[in-house]
Amino acid sequence: MTIEKGLYSAVVWGIIIILAIFLAVFVSRFSRSNSITRGALKDLESLQNEYEEYRTKAIEREQRFVANCRTKSTNIVHKMRIDIIAVVPELLQSPFEHSIFKRAVEKGLAADTLS
């Protein structure tokens, strides 16, 4: 089977043109995707910077809050009043002399009024 030179030349040039069209489509799609990716990376970087700024501000705010709470909690003295009514108060005297209650009385946080 023989192919004429003109037909062969037309087929080869047709294949070359089709490949060139595919190459042009591929290059255009690649450049569009590449520009979209670059834009997304810039957006991501700005979002990460914004998040870091927010994070550092939140940490500073939390630290100021904790420090403020610590200073306020050291100035606040919590006192609690517990009334115990006993028929024989002498039975309660020993536990109160050797417990946390005794330390609270010594620090002035509680009052000992057993009678």
Residue 13's pLDDT is 96
| Confidence label for 57 from pLDDT (cuts 50, 70 and 90) | very high
Contacts of 114 (CB under 8 A, 6+ apart): 89, 92, 93, 96
11 and 5 in contact (C-beta within 8 Å)?
A: no
Residues with Cβ within 8 Å of residue 109, at least 6 apart in sequence? 77, 78, 79
Asked whether the beta carbons of 87 and 114 are under 8 A apart, the reply is no
Average of per-residue pLDDT across 45-52: 97
Mean pLDDT, rounded, for 6-22: 95
pTM (2 decimals)?
Answer: 0.46
The pLDDT, as a whole number, for residue 63 is 93
Q: What is the band of 22 on the pLDDT scale with cuts at 50, 70, 90?
A: very high
Is the pLDDT reported for residue 115 higher than 60? Answer: no
Euclidean distance between the first and the last CA atom of the chain, given in angstroms as a whole number:
129
pLDDT digits (tens, 9 = 90+) for 65-84: 988 887 776 666 666 666 77
